[in-house]
């Protein structure tokens, strides 16, 4: 008989529940180590058909490690699972593992695609760069704010210009300089580290033909292209290009019940960072006036802006960009500025 396993994973321990023929036959707990879990599964469930656990911080590691051990690992959407698990009277790790095992046995779950380690490395690189840039901005604002208190207004400027202005204003402010200069040194160091990660991203973009292909789209730079490929991985992961927009949460939610039927805001599901990058690319496309940005897509977005406003038009263009970029990856064709929006989204 087939066995079905539910794993409630936490940072320290993992609760395990094994079901067979509609009944729980064993449950226990062990350290959150996929190797140890695989040994327990082989011991207590030699005919395991599904090993189910929720999305979480350890899900990528668990999925690939358990799969390498020969376990039929399945990562399921945590939001969907919680709606079922919350129905239990007592909320415990053991009961959650039981609930996940029942979902595995019934097949009542939504499996998610777990990204490869290479894709996660790329995402980590982009996230680390963004974090350093945010810290740099926060330090710069902190320096400006403290100096304003003492009547020292730092003129507009970034990089070396900002550094020069700050040092000039602090020349006769010895006591204040002892506070601000350490912040300025930290600001410098963070910017240097961010520049190192920038070079890594640019190098990765230059080595990837797919990234170069996507960068032919107006408004799409190296960071957006690299992030998009890391999220999509293989274009064949999506049956149609149009489904990418929904996967990134760029399509409107619908509510229909009885006589009520309306569309709401976009769902905002999926990759928040990539959705933000596509929105920035759409904003660039609609606001820049260079010859490179001229295209039928931009004209469509500008007409939409006149009718619906800038934000809604930018969201719509971001969704179109997501779909068009997927089409380009499938066909291998560069961006065609003169093609109509329907032709660009034909796959």
**Which residues lie across from 76 on neighbouring strands?**
54, 111
Give the count of domains, the chain: 3
Question: What is the model's pLDDT at position 15?
Answer: 96
Handedness of CA 32, 38, 42, 47 (dihedral sign): positive
Question: What is the model's pLDDT at position 251?
Answer: 87
| More confident: 106 or 262 | 106
Q: Are residues 77 and 126 in the same domain?
A: no
Question: What is the model's pLDDT at position 301?
Answer: 93
In the predicted model, is pLDDT for residue 288 greater than 70? yes
How do residues 183-198 score in pLDDT, each as one tens digit? 999 999 999 999 999 9
Is 158 part of any domain? yes
Question: What is the model's pLDDT at position 341?
Answer: 59
Residues of the chain above pLDDT 70, percent: 98
Instruction: Name every residue whose Cβ is closer than 8 Å to that of residue 234 and which is 6 or more positions away in sequence.
Output: none
What's the whole-number mean pLDDT along residues 137-157? 93
Domain interval for residue 183: 117-207
Tokens representing residue 84 in the block: 């079922």
Q: Mark which of 207, 222, 252 sits at the end of a domain.
A: 207
Question: What is the model's pLDDT at position 110?
Answer: 86
Question: What is the model's pLDDT at position 213?
Answer: 94
Is 139 part of any domain? yes
- Give the predicted TM-score (pTM) of the model: 0.81
In the predicted model, is pLDDT for residue 43 greater than 90? yes
Is 42 part of any domain? yes
Q: Are residues 66 and 169 in the same domain?
A: no
- Model confidence band, residue 337 (pLDDT cutoffs 50, 70, 90): confident
Q: Are residues 181 and 293 in the same domain?
A: no
Residues of the chain above pLDDT 90, percent: 74
Element (H, E) at 3: strand 3-9
CB atoms within 10 A of CB 227: 24
Tokens representing residue 144 in the block: 């400006």
Q: Are residues 201 and 218 in the same domain?
A: no
Q: Are residues 248 and 315 in the same domain?
A: yes
Q: Mark which of 146, 173, 207 sits at the end of a domain.
A: 207
In the predicted model, is pLDDT for residue 343 greater than 80? no
Q: What is the CATH number of the domain that holds 13?
A: 3.30.420.40
What's the whole-number mean pLDDT along residues 43-48? 94
Of 281, 280, 285, 326, the closest CA to residue 305 belongs to 285
> Mean of the per-residue pLDDT values for the chain?
91
- Model confidence band, residue 347 (pLDDT cutoffs 50, 70, 90): very low
Is 200 part of any domain? yes
Is 111 part of any domain? no
Question: What is the model's pLDDT at position 339?
Answer: 75
Q: Lowest-confidence range among 119-133, 183-197, 254-268, 318-332?
A: 254-268
Is 112 part of any domain? no
**Which residues lie across from 20 on neighbouring strands?**
23
The gap between the terminal CA atoms of the chain, to the nearest Å, is: 43
In the predicted model, is pLDDT for residue 216 greater than 70? yes
Q: Mark which of 64, 84, 106 sits at the end of a domain.
A: 106
Is 36 part of any domain? yes
Q: Are residues 150 and 200 in the same domain?
A: yes
How do residues 293-326 score in pLDDT, each as one tens digit? 888 999 999 999 999 999 999 999 999 999 999 9
Q: Are residues 196 and 232 in the same domain?
A: no
In the predicted model, is pLDDT for residue 73 greater than 70? yes
What's the whole-number mean pLDDT along residues 264-285? 89
Is 332 part of any domain? yes
**Are residues 326 and 346 in contact, defined by beta-carbon separation less than 8 angstroms?**
no
What's the whole-number mean pLDDT along residues 275-296? 89
In the predicted model, is pLDDT for residue 245 greater than 80? yes
């Amino acid at each position: 008989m087939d066995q079905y396993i539910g794993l409630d994973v936490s940072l320290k321990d993992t609760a395990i529940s094994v079901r067979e023929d509609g009944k729980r036959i064993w449950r226990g707990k062990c350290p959150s180590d996929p190797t140890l879990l695989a040994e327990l599964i082989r011991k207590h469930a030699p005919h395991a058909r599904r090993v189910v656990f929720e999305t979480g911080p350890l899900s990528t590691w668990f999925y690939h490690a358990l799969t390498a051990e020969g376990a039929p690992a399945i990562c399921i959407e945590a939001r969907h699972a919680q709606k079922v698990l919350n129905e239990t009277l007592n909320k415990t790790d053991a009961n959650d593992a039981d609930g996940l095992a029942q979902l595995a046995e019934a097949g009542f779950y939504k499996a998610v695609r777990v990204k490869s380690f290479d894709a996660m490395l790329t995402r980590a690189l982009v996230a680390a760069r963004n974090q350093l840039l945010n810290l740099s901005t926060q330090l710069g604002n902190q320096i400006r704010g403290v100096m304003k208190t003492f009547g020292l207004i730092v003129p507009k400027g970034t990089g070396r210009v900002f550094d020069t202005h700050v040092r000039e204003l602090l020349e006769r402010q010895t006591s204040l300089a002892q506070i601000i200069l350490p912040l300025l040194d930290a600001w410098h160091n963070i910017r240097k580290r961010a520049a190192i990660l920038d070079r890594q991203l640019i190098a990765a973009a230059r080595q990837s033909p797919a990234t170069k292909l996507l960068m032919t789209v107006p408004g799409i730079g190296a960071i957006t292209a690299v992030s998009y490929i890391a999220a999509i991985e293989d274009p064949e992961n999506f049956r149609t290009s149009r489904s990418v927009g929904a996967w990134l949460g760029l399509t409107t939610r619908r509510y229909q019940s009885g006589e009520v039927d309306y569309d709401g805001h976009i769902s905002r599901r999926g990759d928040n960072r990539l959705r933000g990058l596509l929105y920035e690319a759409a904003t660039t496309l609609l606001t820049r006036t260079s010859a490179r940005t001229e295209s039928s897509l931009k004209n469509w977005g500008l007409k939409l802006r006149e009718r619906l406003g800038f934000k809604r038009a930018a969201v719509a263009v971001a969704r179109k960009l997501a779909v068009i970029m997927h089409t380009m990856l499938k066909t291998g064709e560069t961006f065609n500025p003169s093609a109509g929006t329907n032709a660009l989204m034909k796959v």
